[in-house]
Structure 1
Amino acid sequence: MQSVLKEGETCWRIATAERMSIIVDAADFFRAAKSAMTKAKRSIFLIGWDFDTRIRLDPEGDGTDDWPDQLGSFLNALARRKEEIDIRILKWDVGLLNSITRGETPFYMLQWVFDKRIHLKLDGAHPAMSAHHMKLLVIDDQVAFCGGIDMTVGRWDTRAHAEKAPGRRSPMGFAQDPWHDATTCLSGPAAAALGDVARRRWMLATEEELNPTTCDGDPWPDGLDVGFRDVNIGIARTAPEYRDRRQIVEIETAKLAIIAAAKKTLYVESQYFASRRVAQAMAERLREEDGPEIVLINPQTCEGYLEAKAMDSARIRLMKLVQDADRFGRFRLYYPVNDAETPIYVHAKMMFADDRVIKIGSANLNNRSMGYDTECDVVIAAQESQTVLREKIIATRDDLLAEHLGRSAREVQDAMTANGGSIIAAIEALNPSSGRRLVPVPMRDLTPDEELFAESDLADPERPAGKRYRASRFLKRHFGHKLKKAL
C-alpha cells in the first residue's frame, strides 16, 4: 500500500502521539474531557461548531467528584480555582443562533465576554454560508481531543444506546434519541501540533496572536486506556480561501488517497454520503475485478426537514451511481438500530482501509467538508512492518462493528476468519433479523422536489464561488490510475 501521508498534500503536519485513544460515543468523551480539564495548569482551548453551557458532562455519574457537572458551571469553577488558567472558547458565529433558538441562557456568554480567565469569541472569519465545523479541545499543549463530538445538546450517549436512557435527556428534560459518535485523545508532539491549529484559528478570528503553552504536568484523563503508543499522526484540514489564507483541501486529498489505496476492505462511518467525488472514487474501485469491499454506515435519515431533503436526496443519487458500478456486489450501505429497533443517529466521521489506515475527525462525506467548511481530522497510516499497529487498527474496526451488531469483538473476528476476511459476509452472518443490528438503507426513486434539492448545491456547496477543484500532483502520481474519473 502506497503511504497516504504526505505533508502539504494529504496532511498539514505529521507528528508523534506518545499516547492515543479512540473514544467512541460522548459519554466516555465528556467524562475524559472533564478529567483532563481538571488537570489543566495554564491553557484550555475549546474550538467547536457549537457548545451548550447547560449540558451535563456525566449525567449518570454518582456526583461524588469535587467539580460541578454542568458545562458552564464547571468552566467557571476551573477559572476560580486555578489562578493561572487561561480558557479560550471559539464558537462559530452562526451557531449562536442555534443557542438562542433552543433556549440556552446567554448568562455565561455575556459573563465570559468580559471575563479575565475565560475568553469567549464568536468566529465569523469565514465566507458566506460557510461553517466552522472542526471540534478541538487542547489542554496545556500536552493533551488534545480531535474528532466529531460537539459539547452540545443531544450528543451524550453510551455504547449501549439503550432505549430511553436516563442520561440521554435535553436540558429541558425531554428524551432524546440514540446518538453514535467518536473522537480521539492524543498526547505528546501531536497534541502540541493541534494546539497550533487552535491558535491559528484564534488568530484568524480575533487577530490576537497567542504563544504555545509550556508547563509541567500530565493532563491525560483518569481511567482512559491507551490504545496506541508512539504512533505518527497526520493532521489534515479543510478550510476555504478567506482573506490571506489559501484554500486547504488536505482532508479531501487524504480521503481520495485512502479510497485508492484500500486493497480488501474500506469501512466508513459518516453522517452523510453526499460527496460526488468520493462516490466516483468508490465506484471506480468497485468496477475493478479485485477491488475492495466497501461498507458505509450512515444514519437512517438526516436531522431537520431541509437537511433531510438535501442530504438524503443526494445520498439516493450517489447510491445509484455506486450501485450501478458495483458489478461484483461489494458495496453495502447500512444504518444501525438499538435493541428496541430505534434508529441510532450516526454522527461519527471515520474511515478504515484494511489494517493500514484510520482517519477520524470532523469531516463528513459531503461537499462542504471537502472545501467549504473548516475541518480537522487525524490519520494513522501503518507501514507493512508495523504488525502490532496493524493488529490494533483491525481490532478498532471490529470493535465498532461489534457495537453495531450487538456482538462481541471476538465474534466479529471469528466471523471475519470464517468468511475468508470478507467484511460483508461477516456482517451478514452475524446480523440478526430483529433487535440490535445494521439495516440496509433502501434504494428508492426521488420525488420531483427531492430532485430539485439534489441538483442544487445551495445546502452543500463544494467550494466558495469561483473556486474549482484541482487534483493534487500527489494523487495523480500515485493513485491516478485508480481515480481517473474522480480526478
Structure 2
Amino acid sequence: MHGFTENSAALDAATGPVEELELLLTAAEAYPALERAFLGARHSISASFRIFDLATRLRSPEARAIGEDWFDLLVHTLERGVSVRLVLTDFDPIGAADLHRLSWNARRRLIAAREVARGGRLEVLSALHSAQAGIGARLALWPGAHAKLRSVLDDLNARSEADRRRFLEEAPGIARITRERPDGRIVAVPGLPDLTPATHHQKMAVFDGRQLYVGGLDLNERRYDSPRHCRAPERTWHDVHAMVRGPVVAAAAQHLDGFLDIVAGRRAPGPAAPGFLRTLSRPARRAPFRFSPRPLVTEIERAHLSRIGAAERLIYLETQFFRHLPLARAMARRAEARPDLRAILVLPAAPEDVAFENSSGLDVRYGEHLQSRCLSLLYDAFGPDRVLVLSPVQPRRLAVEGRAELEDAPIIYVHSKVSIFDGDAAILSSANLNGRSMRWDTEAGLELTAPAHVDLIRRRVMGHWLPREGDGGVDPAALDPRTAFEAWRVLADLNSRRSPERREGFLVHYDSDPARKLGLPVPGVPPEIV
C-alpha cells in the first residue's frame, strides 16, 4: 500500500484475513497501482492473467521514469533481480482463435523481455485448461466447431503466403490441426480435434508474499478507461480491482502455486481459506458425452448463495453477465421470504460482442436467453417495486448505432464483478455471475466482512454511478441499505425521462426487450458454456 487514502481502509486490529484494502476503480486507478507494485517488489512476483500485453503504455509517473510501456517495466523488474512467474491463459484454438494467437504473441514478448534483461528470472507458463470435452460431446459439437475452423482457414487462405506462415507461427494450436496442400492452401487435417470449453479467467498477482492484486481487470490498452467514461462506447471499460495486505495473501500465493496441478488432477485442492474465494474444475473421468469439466471448488458460488440466503435489506450486484439460474432462484426464494428485501443490479446494456461487433451467433443468443430468464425470475419474485435493473450511460449524445446506445446516449461497458449484501459483506472477484465463472473457469476473489471494508466498497462502487453533491460526495441515503433502493429508483426514473445532457450520474433503466428478442434456448447444451 502507499498510505491511507479515500480509496483505502485499514483495520485497527489485525483480526481478519484482509488487514488493508485499497479499492481501484477502472484501469486509470488500477494500472498505476500495479506498476508501483512491480517497482516495489523486492524478490518475487507470482501472477496469473487472462491477458497480459507488454505493449500496454505505462501510466504512473514512477513507472514512466524508467520507460514507455510494460515491456520496459518488466525488463527493469528482472534486471533488479526480482523473480517473476506468470501463468498466461491459453485458449481453445478453434473456439477462440484470435485469443489463442494473442496469448502466444504475448508469450513471445514476455520471453523477449527476459532475453533483453540478460537472462532475468522469468517463468512464463502458457496454460490451456486441462478439461476437454468427451469424444461424444466433441462429435456433437463438431459441426459448429468445424464451421468456426473453416472461417478461420478461409480468412487465412485469403492472405499472402508470408502472412499465412506468420499466422501459423503465432497460433501453434491452429498449426497442429492443419496442413499445407501443394497449392499452398491451408486445410484441416482429418480427425476429431480436442475442444477445451473452460479457461483460466482469474487476474491476480502476489508481490513478495505480502501484497495481493486481485479483481476483474486484465492488462492491455483495450481495458484502459477512467472514472469519467468519456470515450467512445467501444473504448469504455468499467472494472474494479483491489490491492490488499493480510493473511489472505498467503492463501492467494498458495493458490497461484498449485492451481494448475489441481485442475490437471495431480493435486487435491487445499481447504477453504478465510476471505479468499476460488472456482476450480478438472477433467471429468469416463464421461465421453460430457461437454464440461467437473466442478471441484465452487467457493465463489457458495459464498453468493450463502449471502443471498442471509440478506435482509439490500442485495447489490454489479456484473458483466447475470446468467446463473441457481443465483436467480436463490434471490427469488429470499425475496418471497423477506418482503423488505430489495435488489439493485448494474449490468452493461448489452454484451461486448453484441454492442460493438453486432454479433448474433448461437453462443450470444443462448447467453441472452439465460440472462432474460434470470431477470424474469427476479421481476416475478420481487415485483416492480423491489428490484431495479440498471445500466450506465454517458451523460451526452453521440452518434452510435444499435445496442451501443441506450436512452439516446452511448453506453458504458460494465466488466466489474462486485456483490454487496446489506452492510455485512462484499464479494470482489474475477467471476461473472454466470455458470461458467461459478463452476467451470478458474476464478479468484475476496469475501470481505469487516465493516470498514464493506463501507469502503459501498461508497466507492455504488457511489461511482451517483451524482455528486456540493461537497463532492454523494447523498448518504443512496448508500444506506435501508434507503438506497428508493433513492436509486427516483434517480433512474428521472434520468430515463431526461435528455442525456440533463442527467445526473450515469444510471438509466436497463432495457430487457432486445436481449429477450435476440435470446434463443439451446436444448441439451449446458448453461455453463456461456
Tell me, yes or no, whether TM beats 0.5: yes
Q: What is the CA distance between 1:188 and its match in structure 2?
A: 3.0
Distance in 1 of aligned mates of 2:323 and 2:203:
21
Query: Partner residue of 2:297?
Result: 248
- 1:48-84 CA deviation, whole Å, 9 max, x = no partner? 11211211131xx66884222411221122112x12x
State the distance in 2 between where 1:405 and 1:135 align: 27
Partner in structure 1 of residue 38 of structure 2: 37
Aligned match of 2:511:
442
Contact 1:112/1:120 (CA < 8 Å) preserved in 2?
A: no
> Alpha-carbon deviations, 1:140-166, whole Å to 9, x = none?
1011111111112321111111235xx
* Residues 177-196 of structure 1 mapped to structure 2, 5 A cutoff: 177-196=235-254
Q: What do the CA deviations read for 1:29-49 (whole angstroms, capped 9, x no partner)?
A: 110111111111111112011
Instruction: Determine the structure 2 residue equivalent to 1:148.
Output: 216
Q: Structure 2 CA distance, aligned partners of 1:282 and 1:19?
A: 31
1:360 aligns with 2:428: yes
1:405 Cα deviation after fit: 2.5
Query: How many Å apart are 1:284 and its aligned residue?
Result: 1.2
Aligned to 2:21: 20
Alignment of 1:154-303 (within 5 A): 154-163=222-231, 176-201=234-259, 203=261, 234-242=275-283, 247-303=296-352
Change in CA separation of 1:246 and 1:427 when aligned onto 2, cut-off 3 Å: closer
- The answer to whether the 8 Å contact 2:25/2:241 transfers is yes
Q: What amino acid maps onto 2:445 in structure 1?
A: D
Q: Distance in 2 between matches of 1:151 and 1:456?
A: 36
SS, match of residue 330 in structure 2: helix
SS at match of 1:460: helix
Distance in 1 between the 2:378 and 2:339 partners?
A: 16
Distance 2:87 2:49 in 1: 6
SS of residue matched to 2:75: helix
Letter in 2 for 1:147: G
SS of residue paired to 1:33: helix
How far residue 452 of structure 1 moved from its aligned partner, in angstroms, is 3.2
Partner in structure 2 of residue 70 of structure 1: 69
Corresponding position: 1:334 with 2:390: yes
The alpha-carbon deviation at position 369 of structure 1 amounts to: 1.1
Measure the CA separation in 1 of the matches of 2:438 and 2:449: 20
Secondary structure at the counterpart of residue 251 of structure 1: helix
SS at the partner of 2:465?
helix
- The question of 1:412 aligning with 2:475 is answered yes
Alpha-carbon RMSD across the aligned residues, in angstroms, is 3.2
Query: Which deviations, in whole Å up to 9, do the C-alpha atoms of 1:179-216 show, x marking residues without a partner?
Result: 1101111113222221111111355589999xxxxxxx
Which shows bigger deviation, 138-147 or 401-410?
401-410
What is residue 403 of structure 2 aligned with on the other side? none
Select which of 367, 371, 375 maps to 1:311: 367
List, as ranges, runs of 4+ consecutive aligned residues in structure 1 with deviation greater than 6 Å.
205-209, 243-246, 445-449
Q: Determine the C-alpha separation between the residues in 2 that align with 1:148 and 1:365.
A: 12
Query: For 2:62 and 2:244, how far apart are their aligned partners in 1?
Result: 27
Contact residue 333 and residue 381 of structure 2 kept, 8 A: yes
- 1:422 maps to 2:490: no
- The TM-score with structure 2 as length reference comes to 0.69
Which one scores higher on RCO, CA 8 angstroms, separation ≥ 6? 1
Tell me the distance in 1 between the aligned counterparts of 2:231 and 2:123. Answer: 38
Residue aligning to 2:123: 119
Bigger Cα displacement from structure 2, 104-113 vs 363-372: 104-113
| 2:48 partner SS | strand
Give the Cα separation in 1 of the matches to 2:106 and 2:316: 40
Deviation of the 1:97 alpha carbon: 4.2
| Paired amino acid for 1:412 | D
Aligned-partner Cα distance in 2 for 1:445–1:108: 41
Contact 2:27 2:224 in 1 (8 A): yes
Q: Which amino acid letter does the alignment assign opposite residue 402 of structure 1?
A: G
Deviation, 1:457, is: 3.6
**Match for residue 88 of structure 2?**
91
How far is 1:105 from its partner? 6.6
1:74 & 1:445 partners in 2: Cα distance?
44
Q: Is the 8 A contact 2:425 2:448 kept in 1?
A: yes
What's the secondary structure of 1:180's corresponding residue? coil
Secondary structure at 1:333's aligned position in 2?
strand
2:460 counterpart residue number: 399
SS in 2 for 1:274: coil
Letter of the 1:163 partner, please give it: R
Task: Report the structure, 1 or 2, having the larger helix content.
Answer: 2
Please state how far the C-alpha of 1:329 moved relative to its aligned partner.
Answer: 2.1
Q: Which of 418, 438, 447 matches 1:370?
A: 438
Q: From 351, 375, 378, give the equivalent of 2:419.
A: 351
* Equivalent AA in structure 1 for residue 69 of structure 2: Q
Q: Deviations over 1:305-331 (max 9, x none)?
A: 245433222211221122122236211
| Deviation string, structure 1 residues 216-261 (Cα, Å, up to 9, x no partner) | xxxxxxxxxxxxxxxx951111111348997111111101001111
Q: 1:354 to 1:90 in 2, by over 3 A?
A: same
Give me the whole-angstrom Cα distance separating, in 1, the residues matched to 2:388 and 2:231: 26
Instruction: Return 5+ residue gaps in structure 2 as ranges.
Output: 1-14, 132-195, 268-272, 286-293, 354-358, 397-408
Q: Larger deviation: 14-23 or 195-204?
A: 14-23
Corresponding residue SS for 1:150 = coil
Question: 1:54 aligned to 2:55?
Answer: yes
Q: Which blocks of at least 5 consecutive residues in structure 1 are unaligned?
A: 1-13, 165-174, 210-231, 383-388, 463-487
Q: 1:246 to 1:301 in 2, by over 3 A?
A: closer
Aligned-residue offset at 1:416: 5.6
